[in-house]
Every structure is written in structure tokens, then in C-alpha cells.
Structure 1
Amino acid sequence: MRVKAFLLAAALATALSGCSTIGSMPIFSSNYGSVTDAGYTLPRIPIEKVKREYHRQIVNYDTKEKPGTVVVDTSKKFLYLVMADGKAMRYGIGVGREGFEWRGTARIAIKREWPTWTPPAAMIKRQPELAKYAGGMEPGLKNPLGARALYLFNKGGDSGYRLHGTPEWNSIGKAMSSGCIRLMNQDIIDLYNRVDNGAKVIVM
């Protein structure tokens, strides 16, 4: 009976923590349920349909960058938030499709919850049907920027690129954006809460 009680307690502790482990590392596969946020209800993500490598998780990460730095690996489709002690929080991402890739260093200059999306003029030229949003698309569940957006600036000012949420969870792990880095909405909320304004962002 004592063994059964111990196993039950351990199972409950794991469930309450909202994560499981790979080896000794947490993976937060159970943190993609429905979320009510600022009056919006984000639907549950069918995370079982997303490759496990793209689930939010803590990993070993060897870098000289200081904790709080964001490193985006566009080839592997991972975003790392550097943590202390050789660890990082890793998120699965979607990246720019062919012709829209970019590399460089920037900083997070603005953080916005439920942002307005304004397609750039070049995008409207390519997709005239977006002209109706030239003045901005209201926040909401269908907004391409999702629940949060982190605006990336460089020495020239606003780079035009964002780290943002997306309602298109099935685009994670793929190259299909216009250059911005997209995360599942539940992940961008988590990243938003962890990263500071002014944080360094390296895209490689």
C-alpha cells in the first residue's frame, strides 16, 4: 500500500507541475490547453499532432550569451531563451519561407499583448486582398500576430520583424512566413512573460 501511495503522489506531482521530463529535463507538453487571456479564449492546441521536438522544453545549451538573450536557429526551427547554468528554454518556431529568410542581431524594443497587425506596403502589393487591413487589423483570435508580439529593432530602427504568436499551430517547424518568427500562442505568452524589453535577439 505504501508503494501504491508513493506512486500516486508522484503522478499527482507531475500532473500539477504541468510538465513531464526527458531524462532530467522538463518538457511542457501539457501546457497547451485552452487559455483565457484579456477576454479572449485561446483554443487548445492539439499538441499531439506537433512533433515532440517542437514542444516547449528546457534543454542543455552551451553559449557565451548571457541569460535573457534570445537565439533563433532558423535551420532547426528552434528559439532558445538563454537561462543560467548552461540551460535554455526551447520553443518550436515557424520561419520565413524561401526569399524571406534573414540573419542578424536585434533587440526587443516593444512588447505588446494582443497587438494590431498592419501588413507592410510590399505585402499588400503582393496580396491586394490585404489592402482592407492597411489601417491595421484589430486584435483577436484570427489576427496573424496572435496573442503577443515582440518588436525587433536594430541600429536603423524598426526592422519590421517580430517574434509573435500564431493561430496556425501547424506551421510550427516549417518555413512559410514573410520573415517574422512565429510561435504557438501558448508559447509566445510564456516567452513574453520571461523575456525583458531590451533583450538581445540573435537570428542565425
Structure 2
Amino acid sequence: MLTRRTFAALGVAAGLSACARPETAIVTRAVPPQPQYPPLPDFYGAITDEPYPVPAIPEGSIAPEYWRQEVENRWPGHARGTIIVDPDAAMLHFVESPLQATRYGVSVGAAGFSWEGTARLQFCRQWPRWRVPDTMIARQPELEPYSVANGGMDPGAGNPMGARALYLFQNGVDTLYRVHGDASPRELGRAVSSGCIRMLNQDVIHLHERAVHGASVIVLPSMKAEGFAELY
């Protein structure tokens, strides 16, 4: 029999049930699968005849569009040896002929976004020392042992200049803009916190072998320049 007391109890239970939070299923977001890249070309293997070790690039760490490759020359009016850097696309082109260029994927640091124009490839260095400018030491005093006055950092492992560096000048004055090695494979195509234009050591060695002393280096304008000011 449904008594008044039973009816009241059922009413309370119904009210509590209406206020209770309904059970919800736990939803787990699927982790996107890692991209599967084809095997790297042999030229990204270890280099064993350098003064310092150049390890092989790990498989699966570089998207094919950032591999070194021969492409159509988009700037046929420039002489062989001209280097064109597109910071926003994270690409560097070396003009081989009116029809062909070699394209390299790069990573771009602060100075890579903050400088543009046409410079002269003044000189190159194999396994360069890293000489930290005073402006950078003012922000990071712990780098003072590697200052110009102290002779810089020895080449080799840990030196952010890597296996080679190309130095750019304008009207005989150092722009402080560098194209250099020691990029991490997973940095390619990305903006990094400091430096100019970083290349894989395998790629910067290849570029250095082809570089033409005195050639023009054209750095295209960047739409990402605002907010970047750090120089190597």
C-alpha cells in the first residue's frame, strides 16, 4: 500500500536523484600518431673524417621537405654561389645554375628573424670558436668565460656554431649574422630561441664545400621579426 509516508519518501528520493550529477564516461584523447618518414638519404649518416665526431641523424627525425635536395632555381638572375635565406619558410637556397639550386632545411633563431638584406660572404670557418658578444653576456653573465676577450669557446661538442660557419659582412662591417651548424634535427622548420640560421652539421659541411668567397647572401624579410633581438 502506498502510504503518505512512503509517497513522501519517494518524493525526496526523486528530488535527490534530480539534483545528482549524472555519471559521465571518461573520455581519453587519442594521442596523434607520430609521422612515419621514409628512410633518410645516406648523406645524413655519420661523418668519420672530421676533427670532431658528426653523428648520424636519427631515422624518422626529419620530414622529407627539409632534406637537402636539388630544386628548381627560383632566382635564375643570380650568379652561381648566391645564397638566399627565407627565414619564415626555414629554407636556404644555394644557386647552382640558372636552372637549379640546392635547398636546405634550417632552423631560425632570434637574429635570423631580426636581420634582412644583402650581405657578402666574407669568410667561412671550419669548426669555429664561439665568441660571445658583450651584448649577450650582459643578458647571460654565465657566458662570460666565452667572451671575445677570453678567446671564445673551443670547437667541438657543445659549441653552438657546429662544424662550419659562414660570416656575413656589409660594406666591410660584420653584420653579426651567421649561417652555422649544430642544428637539432627536430628543430628544422622551427623558430628557436637564439642564433641566426642553423643547419644540420652534414648540411653545413656540404654548403661550405660549395660556398663561393665574396658571393651575395640575400636574407628575405621576415614577418616574424618583431620581438626577436638576441644575437650570437
1:122 is displaced (CA, Å) by: 1.2
Aligned to 2:35: none
Structure 1, unpaired ranges of 5+: 1-27
Q: 1:164 to 1:37 in 2, by over 3 A?
A: farther
| Corresponding letter in the other structure for 1:162 | R
Aligned to 2:136: 123
| Corresponding letter in the other structure for 2:51 | G
1:161 lines up with 2:161 in the alignment: no
Structure 2, unpaired ranges of 5+: 1-39, 221-232
Whose strand proportion is higher, 1 or 2? Answer: 1
Q: Which moved more, 1:134-143 or 1:29-38?
A: 29-38
Two-structure CA RMSD over aligned residues (Å)? 1.9
Aligned to 2:123: 110
Aligned to 2:107: 94
- Provide the TM-score with structure 2 as the length reference: 0.71
Matched residues in 2 for 1:98 and 1:44: separation? 28
Is the 1:59–1:89 contact (alpha carbons within 8 Å) kept by the matching residues of 2?
A: yes
Matched residues in 1 for 2:187 and 2:136: separation? 19
Q: Which moved more, 1:171-180 or 1:55-64?
A: 171-180
Matched residues in 2 for 1:99 and 1:147: separation? 19
Matched residues in 1 for 2:90 and 2:209: separation? 21
| Corresponding letter in the other structure for 1:50 | I
- Provide the TM-score with structure 1 as the length reference: 0.81
Matched residues in 1 for 2:111 and 2:81: separation? 29
Deviations 1:74-129 (A, max 9, x none): 11000000111411000001113389522111111111101000111111111122
| Corresponding letter in the other structure for 2:61 | K
Matched residues in 1 for 2:197 and 2:175: separation? 13
Percentage identity across aligned positions? Answer: 47
Task: Number of aligned residue pairs: give it.
Answer: 177
How do 1:46-85 residues align onto structure 2 when only pairs under 5 Å count? Answer: 46-63=58-75, 64-85=77-98
